[in-house]
A and B are shown apart, each in its own frame.
Chain A
Amino acid sequence: MHIIETGNVAAALGVKLAGVQVVAAYPITPQTPLTEKLSELIEAGEMDARYVPVESEHSALAVCIGASSAGARSFTATSANGLLYMHEQVHWAAGARLPIVMCVANRAVGAPWNIWNDHQDSISQRDTGWIQIYSCDHQQIIDDTLKAFRLAETTSIPVMVCYDGYLLSHTYMPFEVPEQEKVEQFLPPFHPSYALDPSSPANLNTVTLPEIRTDVHGEMAHGYMEIRYLLQEDLRKAVQVVEEIDAAFQEIFGRGGAPLVEPYRCDDAEYVVVGMGSLTYQLWDVIETLRTEGHKIGVLGVRLYRPFPDAAVAAALRGARGVFVMEKALSYGYEGALCSDLKSALYDHIPDKSRAPFVKGLVAGIGGREIRTADLTDTLRSGLVGSIPEPGWIGIQL
């Protein structure tokens, strides 16, 4: 069924269809309408789940950690400072290998206080061990949310589905709501590999010594370092799992096909612009204009950010003379995190450095600064002749 609704409602409907059993969340702009929608659905009896109202985001994720440890499919959502307030538990959920799904309606972080969109909140959680997916439109929000549960439960790694605050969370767009029957075919009930059981008590994630040890069964149990390595190993393997799940989804629903990166007019491109989230599709328009002017330029949307699909990124950029990375976040004191990751991928995958493209990092839309298509076009036009005005923050007025 096609409906016209907001991105937040798309996420809520995905959560409902996924048969989530526990929702714990604290309202924060621009995520609020998502959790309001879920509480309405549960209150109306349209969704058979427990909504746990909490006093903070830290508690929201802590509830999900408890629920997931007990074997319940669990969901939370947040934005900006709410995500940062969760930070300790964000690490915990990944280290505990709990398949929690969280939507992040991306918003700038304070100070200064700002409720508008950029990616600093979720990018700052890059190193927590979660899988991060960036949706570019409403259809992807609902589809990615469904895929996220299967991905999390297959890998025992929590998944963040990130989408732009306001630009996607509050705008209305048509999208298809998958049928419940087909969703059940795609996403079987959650069977945890281990669930808390009062009749067989156990301590989970207790103090784990630096060295390996013999457990009560006489088996050699991991030390902290082994447990952490297994998370890294499974995250690296998850790149392929993302592709497999996308293929399974496409078979049932007919949508998908570019779960790692989404190239647009990259085949013959001499220059490629790289972006994440809704900016990706805005760049398609920019590229069309530049193409009519005779420039061979394409767009590469990064859909999966962690684990970083380095091989796919490098493959898509092979043959390009120049790459412009346009980001709504920064690793303060250096450059955009995506820009660094992309350079690293090129270094690893293009052995002949004389054939590697130049990479120019650009920053746009920080704190909701309007990203005008004309400004993007002008900036890239300058970039093609190597004359982008420093510091490469599009639209800055200092």
Chain B
Amino acid sequence: MGTRGYRYKTSHSLPGPGDGGNTGSWRVQRPVIDLTRCTPAKRGAEACFACWLYCPDVVVSRTIPPEIDYKYCKGCGICAEECPTKAIAMVDESVYHEHVEG
């Protein structure tokens, strides 16, 4: 399927999931949330959400518990840096896959 009929002749992107492409494929490290340390998960209440607030790509949900959309998460690590309870670890994708597949 080609792009001949596309509405623009240039690159336009609108705010919304995936308009920059499948950017999750860029990720080298994966943020993994430890729910035993995550404030909203532990309390079962809307609280903290620093990861949701700081994520530059809007891939962390404002839910209990927060969820990460790995299709678009580039693995920048800002959520891990900002998490006040250090509940998010950045895990090498190779290590993660070895662990999951192993």
Interface residues of A (CB under 8 A from B): 95-97, 156, 194, 201-209, 211-216, 219-224, 226-227, 230-231, 234
Q: What B residues does A216 contact at CB under 8 A?
A: 13-19
**Tally of A-B Cβ pairs under 8 angstroms:** 74
Q: Tell me if B2 counts as interface (CB < 8 A to partner A).
A: yes
Q: Is the CB of B13 within 8 A of A222?
A: no
Can you name 9 A-B residue pairings with CB atoms under 8 Å? A204-B10, A209-B20, A212-B2, A216-B14, A221-B12, A222-B8, A222-B11, A224-B11, A227-B11
Our pick among A202, A220, A227 for the contact of B1 (Cβ within 8 Å) is A220
Question: Which B positions have Cβ atoms within 8 angstroms of A?
Answer: 1-3, 6-22
From residue B4, how far is it (CB to closest CB) to chain A in Å?
8
Does the CB pair A222–B6 fall under 8 Å?
Answer: yes
Closest B residue by C-beta to A203: B13
- Which of B3, B15, B16, B17 is A221 in contact with, Cβ under 8 Å? B3
Q: Say which residue of B1, B2, B9, B14 sits within 8 Å of A215 (CB atoms).
A: B14
Task: Please name all residues of chain A whose beta carbon is closer than 8 Å to the beta carbon of B8 when the two chains form the complex.
Answer: 194, 221-222
- Write out the residue numbers on chain B whose beta carbons fall within 8 Å of the beta carbon of A211: 21
| 6 nearest A-B residue pairs (beta carbon) | A216-B16, A208-B11, A209-B21, A203-B13, A213-B21, A222-B3
Closest to A205 in B: B11
Q: Is the CB of A156 within 8 A of B9?
A: yes
- Main secondary structure, interface of B, reads loop
Q: Which residue of A lies closest to B4 (CB)?
A: A226
Which residue on B lies nearest to A209, using beta carbons? B21
Which residues from A are CB-within-8-Å of B2?
212, 220, 226
Please pick, from B10, B18, B20, the residue contacting A96 in the complex, using a CB distance under 8 A. B10
Q: B1, B10, B21 — which one has the most chain A CB atoms within 10 A of its CB?
A: B10
Instruction: Indicate if the CB atoms of A215 and B10 lie closer than 8 Å.
Output: no
Please tell me if the beta carbons of B20 and A207 are within 8 angstroms of each other in the complex: yes
C-alpha spacing A220/B78, complex, angstroms: 31
Is A219's CB under 8 angstroms from B7's CB? yes
Complex CA gap A35/B15 in Å reads 39
Cα–Cα distance between A222 and B6 once the two chains are bound (Å):
7
Contacts A220-B6, A222-B3: A194 and B12 contacting too (C-beta < 8 A)? yes
Chain A residues whose CB sits within 8 angstroms of the CB of B9 once the complex forms: 97, 156, 222, 227, 230-231, 234
Contact B3–A226 (Cβ < 8 Å): yes
**Cβ-neighbour of B10 out of A95, A201, A214, A223 (below 8 A):** A95
Task: Tell me the smallest distance from the CB of B24 to a CB of chain A, in Å.
Answer: 13
User: B10 near A221 (CB under 8 angstroms)?
Assistant: no
Most buried by A among B2, B11, B13, B21: B11
Q: Tell me which residues across on chain A come within 8 A of B22, comparing CB atoms.
A: 213
A201 B15 Cβ-Cβ under 8 A: yes
Once the chains bind, are B10 and A227 in contact (CB under 8 Å)?
A: yes
